[in-house]
């Protein structure tokens, strides 16, 4: 078995769920896992240290400076050189994919992005949806190691902490070499659940009728712990921000439960949600294409159904 390097991510004091998911993949591919993180939080650092790592490196941010692809890729390239891992694993998150790509470009090694499954064998194969999920591609590394992967969030089960806590080695990234630097983070309000990590997603489309009716979905989300998604049609109408768009030119989500309210089910929308475990569609038109992918459907007005559904779910939870 082999060495694996994972690029962990934290959000404030919390280790992101994707970090534990990366650990699961890392343990499938190797027996010695080292971690790299960049955080100013001792709490996050300590959680990372408890994941069962051989070694943990913190690319310590400077005052007012956070991520910088050039500087971070240079540090990772040094680590890769020194430790010769078989795999370097990132999350398919905005910064994870960015750093993975810059590292792949810097080192010229093989890179497979957005992996959703691994198949073991003499040379492992990696599964990745192509063409917005219309095709499932299987890939193999032809050269290397090292091999670079990003994994899609919410697919692999998160690993539990194990082993003794390791303390982090501090590395000061060379920010002076970076000509593009993340200088401020406008943190989201506490309690907002990331679409890509949510267990329940409730999405609205043009069938909601008007922008104000999105409030119904936000209410639902707040009370059930869901995240709110949207079709492109309503994003383009300006009813809701692009950050909520699900689909080929929006986000890909894999919740346990996806509830599509007043969404027709265009192929580009399906691209972003068809791997959800259970899909519920609420639509007035019984021949809407969304019903073809839905596990359960209600033919009816979503403005009427959503409040009832919320009430019923809360009742059932007691």
Partner 1 sequence: MNLAVITKLVPDTEARLSLAGDKVDLSDVEMVINPFDEYGLEEALKIKDADESVKVYALMVGPESARKQVVNCLALGADEAIVVDDEAIDGANPLAVAEVLAAELKKLDPVLVFAGKQGVDYDWGLTAVAVAQKLNWPHVGVVKQFTPDFAAKTFTAVTESDEGDLAFSGSLPAVITAEKGLNTPRYASLKGIMKAKKKPFAVHKLADAGVGAAAVGADRAKVEEVQATHPPAREPGRIIQGEEIADRVCELVRVLREEAKVL
Find the binding residues for ligand FAD in span 233-252 (CB under 6 A).
Answer: 233-234, 245-250
Q: How far is the CB of 279 from partner 1 (least distance, A)?
A: 7
Which of these, 83, 14, 74, lies nearest to 48 by C-alpha position? 14
Contact 246, 273 (CB under 8 A): yes
**CA 254/CA 197 separation, integer angstroms:** 8
The stretch near partner 1 (CB under 8 A) out of 34-42, 53-61, 194-202, 215-223 is: 194-202
Q: Is 76 in the site for partner 1 (CB under 8 A)?
A: no
Please, how many CA atoms are within 13 Å of residue 318, restricted to the half-sphere of its CB?
0
Q: Is 103 in the site for ligand FAD (CB under 6 A)?
A: no
Q: Is 47 in the site for ligand FAD (CB under 6 A)?
A: no
The stretch near ligand FAD (CB under 6 A) out of 44-52, 110-118, 158-166, 296-304 is: 296-304
Q: Which does 263 bind (CB under 5 to 8 A by kind): partner 1, ligand FAD, none?
A: ligand FAD
Residues 10 to 69 in contact with partner 1, rule: CB under 8 A: 11-12, 16, 66-67, 69
* Strand bridging mode 227-230 / 278-283: unpaired
* Strand bridging mode 200-204 / 227-230: parallel
Q: How far is the CB of 5 from partner 1 (least distance, A)?
A: 17
Is the Cβ of residue 63 or residue 241 nearer to partner 1 in the bound state?
241
Q: Which does 50 bind (CB under 5 to 8 A by kind): ligand FAD, partner 1, none?
A: none
Q: Which of 134, 160, 162, 215 binds partner 1 (CB under 8 A)?
A: 134
**CA 98/CA 91 separation, integer angstroms:** 10
Classified as helix, coil or strand, 129 is strand
Q: How far is the CB of 304 from ligand FAD (least distance, A)?
A: 8
Q: Nearest to ligand FAD by Cβ — which residue? A: 247
Is the Cβ of residue 34 or residue 248 nearer to ligand FAD in the bound state?
248
Q: Which does 170 bind (CB under 5 to 8 A by kind): partner 1, ligand FAD, none?
A: none
Contacts 24+ apart (CB under 8 A), 250-256: 251/195, 251/196, 252/133, 252/152, 252/196, 253/154, 253/195, 253/196, 253/198, 253/201, 253/229, 254/152, 254/153, 254/154, 254/155, 254/196, 255/154, 255/198, 255/199, 255/200, 255/201, 255/227, 256/199, 256/200
Q: Which of 27, 50, 140, 206 binds partner 1 (CB under 8 A)?
A: 140
**CA 115/CA 96 separation, integer angstroms:** 13
Which of these, 180, 175, 163, 144, lies nearest to 56 by C-alpha position? 163
Q: Is 206 in the site for ligand FAD (CB under 6 A)?
A: yes
Q: Which residues bind ligand FAD (CB under 6 A)?
A: 205-207, 209, 231-234, 245-250, 262-264, 266, 268-269, 272, 282-285, 288, 301-303
């Amino acid at each position: 078995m082999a060495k694996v390097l994972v690029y962990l991510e934290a959000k404030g004091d919390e280790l992101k769920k994707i970090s534990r998911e990366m650990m699961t993949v890392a343990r499938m591919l190797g027996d010695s896992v080292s971690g790299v993180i960049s955080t100013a939080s001792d709490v996050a650092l300590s959680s990372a240290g408890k994941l069962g790592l051989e070694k943990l490196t913190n690319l310590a941010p400077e005052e007012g400076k956070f991520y910088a692809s050039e500087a971070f890729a240079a540090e990772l390239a040094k680590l890769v050189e020194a430790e010769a891992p078989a795999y370097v694993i990132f999350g398919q998150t905005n910064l994870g994919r960015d750093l993975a790509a810059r590292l792949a470009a810097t080192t010229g090694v093989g890179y497979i992005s957005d992996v959703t499954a691994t198949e073991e064998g003499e040379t492992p194969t990696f599964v990745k949806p192509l063409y917005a999920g219309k095709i499932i591609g299987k890939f193999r590394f032809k050269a290397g190691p090292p091999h670079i992967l990003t994994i899609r969030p919410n697919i692999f089960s998160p690993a539990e902490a194990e082993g003794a806590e390791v303390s982090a080695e501090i590395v000061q990234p060379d920010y002076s070499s970076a000509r593009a630097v993340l200088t401020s983070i406008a943190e989201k309000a506490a309690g907002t659940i990331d679409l890509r990590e949510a267990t329940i997603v409730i999405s609205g489309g043009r069938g909601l009728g008007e922008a104000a009716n999105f409030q119904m979905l936000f209410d639902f989300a707040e009370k059930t712990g869901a995240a709110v998604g949207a079709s492109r049609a309503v994003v383009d109408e300006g009813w809701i921000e692009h950050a909520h768009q699900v689909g080929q030119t929006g986000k890909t989500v894999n919740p346990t439960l996806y509830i599509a309210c007043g969404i027709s089910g265009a192929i580009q929308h399906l691209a972003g949600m068809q791997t959800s475990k259970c899909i519920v569609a609420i639509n007035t038109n019984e021949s809407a294409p969304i019903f073809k992918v839905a596990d359960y459907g209600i033919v009816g007005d979503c403005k009427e159904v959503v409040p009832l559904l919320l009430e019923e779910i809360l009742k059932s939870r007691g």
